Structure 1
Amino acid sequence: MFSDSDIPRETIQAYLETYYCVHGDTPTILKVGETNPTLATLHEARDTECSAFITACNPFSQNSSDEFNAARQQALAGELKQLGLSFVEGIGQHPSNNWPGEASFLVLGLPLEAAKTLGTRCGQNAIVWSGTDATPQLVLLR
């Protein structure tokens, strides 16, 4: 499924196992491949058919300083606001490895191609995208 990617297999496996935690008024945990009824309700409440879970932290999975990551997240939030996109803060956290949690945003109403473009601009290996079925899927970007 992911065999033609430049991303190491163990990194992809970590992405697949990560809990993508959405904060805000309707908190939930997104898991790749598992339909999420709370996400479906959030889509419906925001009158959208899709969303993307994106971070600007740790480009290309290179562990960066807290200050660097915070500045990148702040810049991403500014870009999302400028684009008029609705988003909810969150964090991506693997349940058992030592990789630090990454501040993230669930961006509502972001079509797949636009989400891929945004993730690429943020220097990410992958994003998590959900369509009308509210089932998060891992989308590799390289």
Structure 2
Amino acid sequence: MAESPVPAALQAAYRATTYRVWLPEGAVDLRVGEACPALAAYVAARGGRAWMVVTASNPASEPLGEAANLARQRALAGLLHSLGLPALAAENLADDGQWPAEAGFFVTAPVLDRELALALGRHMGQNAVLFGVAQGDAGTPDTTPELLWCREVAPPGAAG
């Protein structure tokens, strides 16, 4: 298996994050690799095949100011709307509190798939998006979140 181009510390930071989604029934906290039955029910009830959590804030993990992040979030909201992708509020919360909370969106729709999720993340300059499928291989509900790495990330100090 090939070694990931994403530095281990960055992978660890994304895994040490709670991805909170604000469903109509209330907040649901997602973790990479941990199934969420409440989310499975929500996605299945809306006919979605897949779902994602995406933000426009702090592209490439480079902190931006509040105004710049807000403008980027508005642009992402407009893009999702123009694509006919319904979105709910979400936020990314670093477990250690060393990174600011990032507003984002939870998206599920019949047309959403891995390729579209990656394209949206890349368009917004993100390192990764959180992604899950509505059903597992056996047709059973499975919303185990995984990270889709949107860009190759060079290790610190690498020429680029």
Q: Classify the TM-score, shorter chain.
A: over 0.9
TM-score calculated relative to the size of structure 2: 0.84
Bigger Cα displacement from structure 2, 22-31 vs 85-94: 22-31
Deviation at 1:2, TM superposition (A): 8.1
Count of aligned pairs? 141
The 5-angstrom pairing of residues 103-114 of structure 1 reads 103-109=103-109, 110-114=112-116
**Does structure 1 residue 134 correspond to structure 2 residue 143?**
yes
Instruction: Quote the residue 1:62 is aligned against.
Output: 62
Counterparts of 1:135 and 1:2, CA distance in 2: 23
The answer to whether structure 1 residue 82 and structure 2 residue 91 are counterparts is: no
Identify if the C-alpha distance between structure 1 residues 63 and 138 changes in structure 2 by more than 3 Å, giving closer, same or farther.
Answer: same
Structure 2 counterpart of 1:130, one-letter code: G
Structure 1 residues 58-112: Cα deviation after superposition (integer angstroms, max 9, x where no partner): 0000011011000000000001011111111110001213100110101112211
Give the aligned partner of residue 17 of structure 2: 18
Tell me how far apart the structure 1 counterparts of residues 2 and 18 of structure 2 sit (CA, whole Å).
20
Whole-Å separation in 2 of the counterparts to 1:104 and 1:8? 23
Aligned AA for 1:129? F
One-letter identity of the residue aligned with 1:21 = R
The structure with the greater share of residues assigned to helix is: 1
- Tell me the TM-score normalised to structure 1 length: 0.94
Runs of 4+ in 1 over 6 A off after TM superposition: none
Residue 98 of structure 2 corresponds to residue 98 of structure 1: yes
- Identity over aligned pairs, percent: 37
Distance 2:2 2:32 in 1: 14
Gaps of 5+ in 1: none
| Secondary structure at 2:23 match in 1 | coil
CA distance in 1, matches of 2:101, 2:3: 26
Q: Which runs of 5+ in 2 are unaligned?
A: 136-141, 153-160
The residue matched to 1:23 in structure 2 has which SS? strand
Residues 18, 24 of structure 1: alpha-carbon distance in 2 compared, 3 angstrom cutoff = same
Q: What amino acid maps onto 1:116 in structure 2?
A: L
What is the rounded CA distance, in whole Å, between the counterparts of 2:92 and 2:125 in structure 1? 16
